Structure 1
Amino acid sequence: MSEASLASDLQSLEMMATGFAKRFGDADVAAVSQRVQHGDLSDVMRVYAREMQQPIRSALFGDLVEAMLIQVQKVKVDVGQTMAALDKLLKANELNFLLLSTVPATLTIYTAAKWLSTRLSWWISGGSREMAASMQVIVRDIDRLLNAGAGAAEAAAGNAPAGARDGRLSAVAQGRLVCLTHYLRHHALQLPNPASAGTLRTAGGWSPIPPRTRAVFLQDIRDLEDVGLGVAQKQRVIDRMFRTFRFL
């Protein structure tokens, strides 16, 4: 509904109400018109309430039908004003609605870009920053486990069985070591393995890696799992890994 149409409906309502009120006494036309503009149909409703006392007679010979038609016009004006107010509200918030409509598209583009970046990172470097960080934590836990095993072996060197006197891990410590190397092997299988030296993307940037990184790393893991090696020998394997693989 246009503003001109709404104004025309309101003007028609004023004319109907003032004309109706003038027939029942000396009504102030200006006052009646002012009240109608504010949604007050008290002048009409007083006559309507009186006519409803005898509805059939008033409908046939009275003013009940006219009063009801004025109320219908009032409802039409109210609906038009409500729709106009809603239209203004929507136009005032049009920019907000546009911004809200871009949120799903923005999230979709961000998710797709992040996924593509991750895929490209794996394709270029053969690994990810999260993988390198996880490997660093696992190797650190293995180093702590070996240090604890070395301290326990030295403390029990006087009266311990032969397995402890030669500096080997206990069965429990060896089991924990195998669990850690299992997770380490899972990450190592995703390392690049070209015949030439390359780089690996880490949290600190790009780190150089030696040729056949995956094969060499898995070889060190097998040395750590070897029950025939003592704690001191496995600690030297950890030191060798730190020297060889810069991403650790």
Structure 2
Amino acid sequence: MQKRVVGPVARVRSEVRVKQNKLKRMRVRGANALGVLLGEGMVNESIHGEGLATPSEQSGPHKWKASVARNVALVEAVLGRVHEEGLGVDKFDSAIAESTDEDPLYEVEFWSEGDKTRCSVQPAQVAERLHQLLTVRLPAYNASSTALVQQHGRPSRLVRYWLPLTVGILSSSTILRILVNRKAEIIQWITELGATIVDFWANWVVEPTRKVIATIRHDEGSEVSIMSRKSLEGDRASLERMVVDFAVANPETSTGTTAPLTEPQIAEIRTAVREGDLTPVLRAYEKDLASPLMGTVRGNLIRALLIQIQKTKVDVEVAMGGIDALLKSQELVFGFVGLTPGILVTLSLYRWLGASMSRKSGEKKGRDRGLMIRQLRNIDRVLANARPTEFGELFYRDQGLLLCEVHVLGREAARSMPDQVRREFAEEVEELVDVRSGVERQRRVVERIRWAYGRWF
């Protein structure tokens, strides 16, 4: 009737709820069993004189002999009945008591014979039961726990991912055919991508960096220049020779007479030319402009014009030299300007990759912190909902639940807390799981953990 009326999704949800309830009951039984072991074992051995493991009026080594024997029997009884489906939590303590009442290891007796104290249990019996516990009971308990978790826990990977696996298998031939047909293009894309990355790194990061380093070290080969070093000197020397030759050929333009120029006069003309003074040439040029035709015939006008063109060329090179000097003074700035695009792109990619990784790390850290907050909330719920005994302590079920939650909390805290803080936190955890301190004190410990270690939560 249910399969016909209810849809498949509702059936799956119902099955999930049933399995969740079974796992919760299994968890509560395990916590109750753990509480019994802690409350009745050597850790908290009936300090109030009541309970399953109330020791006899023995002292010294006899008390510890009885404690060891009783604990072996208690662990064996708990492991044997913890996975019984029909055994409720309210009946678990009485069931353990029934199992241990008939156990000779649990009812240890001592009597005196003369000067010696006899024991009803021999060490060989305890050793044999302990060996059976380690070789039979514990492996059987582990196997049973694993089977129950697999039965009621998360389904297998095949069940969870059957749909994408089916789609992948059905479309695998098409994908393979596409890959085979475009094999050359895919290889070319990968090759070009790698070559682009290598060229970008070499041309826009390595090479500009090398130029900046060479600039800092004053490497002559790396200097910024818009004209050659010897160009200006050569043009100046050529202009000087042209003016001197013109003045020697036309002495009247320099001295006003036709007498040949002397060496001091030629040296004075050379000095004037170096300073940019072309008076002999300009005088001849002004004179020939009065009769351009005759000046052209004699050739002085054209010659003077060509000398002025050379002078203009020298002036332009002087101006370019000033710009060149300015560029050289700012050469390091231009080097960094050339390096900036490559650095920016590289830094952007690095920041993007770092942000992606840190986002994943932050999400993981956030999940860890969220888990720690939930564990602290579960611990608070256990202590708030617990009904303490007449001595103000937790019952076995609540004690086991508290220990399980605290164990998970300590495991997560070990991943996120520094060493020193983790050692201090371990002290708080030890005080928190000390059931003998009472529920009220345990609640105060939870409050102290909340405000003292809040930044790691």
TM-score between the two structures when normalised by the length of structure 2: 0.27
- Higher relative contact order by CA 8 Å / sep ≥ 6: 1 or 2? 2
Q: Which has the larger radius of gyration?
A: 2
TM-score between the two structures when normalised by the length of structure 1: 0.46
